[in-house]
Chains A and B, each alone.
Chain A
Amino acid sequence: MSAQIAPPVRTAAPAAGRRRRWARQGSLVIGGGIVLAVVLVAVFAPLLSPHDPYAQNLTARLIPPVWYPKGSWLHPLGTDNLGRDYLARTLYGARISLLIGGAVALLSGIIGTVLGVAAGYFGGRVDLVVTFLITVRLALPVVLVALAVVAVVGGSLPLVILVLGLLKWDRFVVVMRSAAQKVRTLDYVSAARATGASTPRVLWREVMPNVLPFLIVTATLEAASAILLEAALSFLGLGVQPPLPSWGLMISEAKPYMFFSFWMIAIPGTCLAILIFAVNLLGDGLRDAISPDGRNSP
C-alpha cells in the first residue's frame, strides 16, 4: 500500500544536457571522493593517528585543538573529558560509522532484495505476502523499536547492527520489487524462461544484473540513514557503548561541554554531517546515472 514510490520512469529529458552531465558527475565525484577519503582514513587509522584512541590521561583533560591559544601540536584536535586524544578518536570513529553503515546496508539489503525480487518476479500471492510484511514494517516506529530493543537487551555494536539491519529493509523491497517487475517483462528474460532455464538461474543470471544498479543506490542511501540512526541511538545513550569511539557517542559525551567547549561537539558533529552528506551525494549521483529523473525514491 501507499506505493508512492513509482518505478523509474523516463520522461522527456529537458535541454541543458551538458550542464546536467556535469551536475551528475559532480555529485558522483564529490560524494565518491569524500567517501573514498573516509574509507582510507578508516583503513589507515592506526597509521594516521598519533595516539591510542583508548589511552586516557586524567591529568591532560580537555585540551583544546591546536588553533586555540591553549592548544598544542601534541594533540592537534585536543583531548576529551578523559584526556584521550581527540584526533585518534575521530579517526577511529570513521571505522565505527562505516562499519555500521556498511553492515546494516548489507543485512537489510539481503533481506530486502530477497523479498523484493521475489515479490516483483513471482507476483500474485508472494507479492501480497510481501506487501503485507512491508506494511507491518512501515507501521513500526523504527527509532522507538530500536531504542526499546537495545534498552531491553543492552547496547553493543553487533546488537545495534542487527536491530537496524532487521528494521531497515523496507526501501530495498520497494525498489527491488518494482525493478524486478520491469525486468520480468524484458524480452531476453522471457526468452530465458521460455527456454526452460530454472527459476533460481533466471533470477541470478538475468534479473540480478539488471536490478543491481538500483540495489547499489538504495544501499548507499540506507547506509547513510543507518549511520545517522546509530548516532541518534548513541546520543540517547542507547547505542554502542563506551569506550568505543563512535561519532554519535562522542557527540553524546561532548554534549555537557558544548556551551563552553563547542569544538568538542563540533568536530564529531561535522565529521558525521560530512560523511552523511557525501554518502547521500554519492547515492544521488548514482541514482541520476541510472534514472535521470530521480523518481525511484523520494
Chain B
Amino acid sequence: MIAFVAKRLALALAVAVAVSILSFMLVRLSGDVATAIAGEGAREEDIAIVRATYGLDRPVLVQYLDWVWSLLRGDLGTSYYFKSDVAGLVLDKLPVTLKLGIASLAVALAIAVPLGVVAALRPNSWVDRAALAVAVVGQALPNFFFALVLVMLFSVTLRWLPVSGSTTAWHFVMPTIALGYYVAPAFMRLVRAGMIEVLGSDFIRTARAKGVPERRVVLKHALRNALTPVVALTVVQLGYLLGGSVVIETVFALDGLGYLAYQAISHKDLPVMQVVVLILAVVYVLLTLAADILNAWLDPRLRAGM
C-alpha cells in the first residue's frame, strides 16, 4: 500500500509540473508579455523598463522557475485588468464555484443512481429504455441552451427564481440544474453497467440462494460494489464541472472562478488566466490522487495494477 501511494504521489507531482509548464506556456502564446503589461500608450522605453522590472529579459527557464517559486510562496501575481492580487481574487471566487460544483454533482447523482439501478434490474425493459432515452436526450441538449430556457421559464415567466447573482441559495438552483443534468447520463450508464455485472456475479447468486431479501441484495450487496467505479468517475466529472462552469457562470453572472476566468480571458488578463487553469488542474490532480488511494484501499486488487 505504501509503495502504491508513493508511486501515485510521484505521478501526481510529475503531472502537476507538466501542467504548470503548460499554463506558463499558455501565456507566452499571446506574444510579448511586457507589451501587454505596459498597456495603453506605452512607448518602447516603457516596455523596456517593464521588461527589466518584471525580469522578462531573462531566459524562459529562469522565468518559469521564478514563477513556480513565487507560486509556492503563495504569490500568484497581480491581475492586469483588475489591478489586484490574483490570490485574493481567486480565494474570493472559489467558494461559489465549489458550491456550484458540489451541488451539481449531488443533483447528478440523485438523478443517476436510482435511474441506473432501476434500469439494471430489468435490462432492456421499457424502464431501461426510458432511462437510456433520458440519458441520450440529456446529453444532446446543450447546457447553455437549457440554461436559457430555464431562465425564461422560471425567472421571466413564472418569476420563481432570481436570474443572476450569487447572494442566496435560490440563485444557485438554476445553475445547479443546468450543470448537473448534463453529467447525470454518464453516471447513469456507469451505475447501470456496474449493477448488471454485479447482479450476474456468483456472490449475488449465493446471497439470493441463501434467501437474503431482494431489496437487501440490491441495495446492500450489489449497489455497494457497483458504486466503486462511480467514485473515480465522480472525480473526473468534478473536474469537468469546474471547467464547464465557465459557460453556466457566465450565463447566470454567478460570481465564481469560471466567471472570473471568462472575464480574464476576454480582457486578456494573463496572470489570472494561467492561475485559474493551473488551480483547476491541480485540484483535479489532487482529487484523482485521493480517489485512486481511496479505491485502492477499498479494492486491494487495484494496487497490483499500478
Contacts and interface: CB of A to CB of B under 8 A. Distances in A.
Given A2-B235, A298-B186, A265 B277 contact: no
Contacts of A11: 196-197, 200
Interface stretch (A35-43, A101-109, A140-148, A201-209): A140-148
The residue in B8, B244, B268 that gathers the most chain A C-beta atoms within 10 A of its C-beta is: B244
Interface string B182-205: 000011011001001100100000
B261 to A, nearest CB: 6
Given A132-B15, A238-B265, A144 B280 contact: yes
A228 B140 CA distance: 8
Contact of B142 (A141, A145, A269): A269
Contacts, number: 174
B236 A138 contact: yes
A151 interface: yes
A294 interface: yes
Contact of B11 (A4, A135, A255, A277): A135
Interface string A107-147: 00000000000000000000000011001101111111101
Interface string B269-284: 0000100110011101
A272 B288 contact: no
A295 B197 contact: yes
Interface in B123-143: 123-125, 129, 132, 136-137, 139-143
- Range of interface residues on B (Cβ < 8 Å): 35 or more
A280 interface: yes
A272 B229 contact: no
A153 B29 contact: yes
A265 B284 CA distance: 35
A142 B240 CA distance: 8
Nearest to A296: B193
Contact of A295 (B193, B276, B288): B193
A255 B148 contact: yes
Main SS class of interface, A: helix
A274 B280 CA distance: 32
Nearest to B200: A12
A152 B19 contact: no
Nearest to A272: B142
Interface residues of A, number: 58
B262 A236 contact: yes
A251 B142 CA distance: 11
Contact of A143 (B152, B246, B281): B246
A16 B29 CA distance: 56
A272 B137 CA distance: 12
B265 A232 contact: no
A244 to B, nearest CB: 18
B144 interface: yes
Interface in B223-274: 229, 232-233, 235-236, 239-240, 242-244, 246-247, 250, 258, 261-262, 265-266, 268, 273
A136 B15 contact: yes
B187 to A, nearest CB: 8
Nearest to A277: B140
20 contacts: A1-B292, A4-B190, A136-B18, A136-B22, A139-B19, A144-B277, A147-B246, A149-B26, A152-B268, A235-B247, A236-B247, A251-B144, A258-B148, A273-B141, A277-B136, A281-B136, A284-B136, A294-B189, A298-B187, A298-B193
